[in-house]
Amino acid sequence: MLAIGARAPEFTLPDANGQPVSLGGLLAHGPLVLYFYPADFTPGCTREACQFRDLHPSIDSAALELAGVSPQSPESHRRFRDKYHLPFTLLSDVDRCVIRKYEVEGPLGLGVRRATFLIDPDRTIRDVVMADLRIGRHAALVRRAVARE
């Protein structure tokens, strides 16, 4: 996993509508909370996404961007976003190239670790948490980020 102080690698991935979204574009308006999650519609990932959805008014008021990355297709992301009314960007990394760049592959290169990064507009990673089962730790990072901004 990339550490605090590291430079976040650039990427471009399709969003839930199939439109390309880059790291630079996400950072154009301020700091970014970028989170990686294993799969749409799984119990833990749904709970995490809904926690972020519920925090979204605070995220907006702090001028933070929020985006999630997982290996599912844009169509899966669109269904997930629509079912749970997620007001943030979901990005599709079906080839897992961004997952590898951010060093969040699962054991033996299988799956995706649950990780959340706070990235400054200059692409410096300011905070990070990796906790596969302790989903509340990811929401706590978002709350810290909101309190700082």
- Provide the pLDDT for residue 108: 75
- Provide the pLDDT for residue 148: 81
Mean pLDDT by 10 residues, the chain (149 residues): 96 98 96 97 95 95 96 98 98 97 88 95 96 82 85
Locate 129 and state its tokens: 């948490």
Locate 28 and state its tokens: 């154009």
Active site residue 45: yes
- Provide the pLDDT for residue 17: 97
Locate 99 and state its tokens: 């997952």
Locate 116 and state its tokens: 């959340």
Q: Model's pTM, two decimal places?
A: 0.95
Rounded CA separation 88/74 (Å): 14
Residues in the chain: 149
Rounded CA separation 8/33 (Å): 12
- Provide the pLDDT for residue 138: 85
Which domains, and CATH codes, for the chain? 12-148 (3.40.30.10)
Catalytic option among 21, 45, 67, 146: 45
Residue 97: HSE in the Cβ half-sphere, 13 Å Cα cutoff = 7
